[in-house]
Amino acid sequence: MQNVILKCDNLHKSFRKKEILKGVSLNVSSGDILGFIGPNGAGKTTTIKLILGLQKIGSGSVTINGFDIKKNFEKAISKVGAIIENPDLYMYLSGYDNLKLIANLYSNVDKPRIDEVVKLVGLENRINDKVGKYSLGMRQRLGVAQAILHKPNLLILDEPTNGLDPEGIRDLRNLLVKLAKEENMGILISSHNLAELESFCNKVCIIKNGVIVETSDIEEVKKETSDGNYIIEVDDSKRARIIIGDMSTAQDSTHILVHSDKENIPFIIKKLVLQDIKIYSIKEDVVSLEDAFFKKTGGNVID
């Protein structure tokens, strides 16, 4: 059973009389990977800084593992790992020595735990090399290793894929899925790479102008913004288009796009079959997370 690890309730924050956050509320449960998305300046990084106690909360509350961040900061933050953009690493030291330095900050991190984390992030073969020789993706994995050394159950990442090549992004994605699944960790990740988030996040929280406009499962958000289109592969799209009528558009010689409620699709199929149209496949034309984002926010616009 999932339990709520992070609970933000009605967060407000202002800078120089300008209200940045206007009642932000969100939850992260164990095993969840929540994609936190919004236009530039929408309030993502400010929210994360309030969660981590890096900025003072105007009003509202942040509770982590049942502890209020303002009233009991040390206990609230004790099981949290975080990377804000690029991790801080000593480039002239080996990856292992970097981890030992972090391990010294905690009483519960011993050599077996360091070795366990090294294996978890897939750096066994390079952990004794100097970090200066690491690729950006390897440094990011080492940063995650630092963040999870003390066995946190909440991991917070702000723009972790910045500057990563496709291989680095893939490695980070696989690692986060592994942490959520095998370690039952709750993960909050802020990123502008919506296509990448769509591939591994199970939930999404959309913020615009300091207000949460949507929090839901990714598939539900995409379904909500779907236009009810279906793509049917046939042997003759021109004939099929004539048979179906104005609700359809021929995409190419073998595919038609049909705008219809799901309940009407069987009748459309029957109509085509009775007219000797061969049907090879049918699938819903599901919108991408990027499409859903633009529909929910109106684009990268800050009021």
Q: Give residue-wise pLDDT tens across range 222-245.
A: 666 556 688 888 888 888 888 888
Per-residue buried b or exposed e for 168-205, using 16+ beta carbons within 10 Å of the residue's own CB: bbebbbebbbebbeebebbbbbbbebbebbbebbebbb
Per-residue confidence band for 213, with pLDDT thresholds at 50, 70 and 90: confident
- Tell which wins on pLDDT, 175 or 85: 175
Top mean-pLDDT range of 26-30, 161-165, 267-271: 26-30
User: How do the domains of the chain map onto residue ranges?
Assistant: 4-223, 227-285
Q: Which residue has the tokens 């990563």?
A: 164
- Check whether 301 has a pLDDT greater than 50: no
How does the average pLDDT of the chain come out, rounded?
Answer: 86
From residue 105, give the alpha-carbon distance in Å to each of 133, 151, 253: 25, 13, 65
Per-residue confidence band for 156, with pLDDT thresholds at 50, 70 and 90: very high
CA distance 116 to 69: 29
Fold category of 4-223 in CATH: Rossmann fold (3.40.50)
49-75 average pLDDT score: 93
Per-residue confidence band for 299, with pLDDT thresholds at 50, 70 and 90: low
For 34, counting Cβ atoms within 10 Å of its Cβ (0-12 exposed, 13-18 middle, 19+ buried), the class is buried
The two beta strands, 154-158 and 186-190, are parallel
- Tell which wins on pLDDT, 26 or 248: 26
Chain Cα centroid distance, residue 168: 16
pLDDT tens-place string over residues 240-270:
888 888 888 888 888 888 887 778 888 888 8
Top mean-pLDDT range of 66-70, 116-120, 265-269: 66-70
pLDDT of residue 95: 94
Per-residue confidence band for 303, with pLDDT thresholds at 50, 70 and 90: very low
- Check whether 1 has a pLDDT greater than 60: no
In the chain, % of residues over pLDDT 70: 90
pLDDT tens-place string over residues 274-290:
888 898 988 877 766 76
- Name residue 95's amino acid: G
Per-residue confidence band for 300, with pLDDT thresholds at 50, 70 and 90: low
CA distance 28 to 38: 17
CATH of 227-285, one of 3.90.950.20, 3.30.70.100, 2.60.40.1930, 3.10.180.10: 3.30.70.100
Dihedral over Cα of 166, 203, 176, 6: its sign: positive
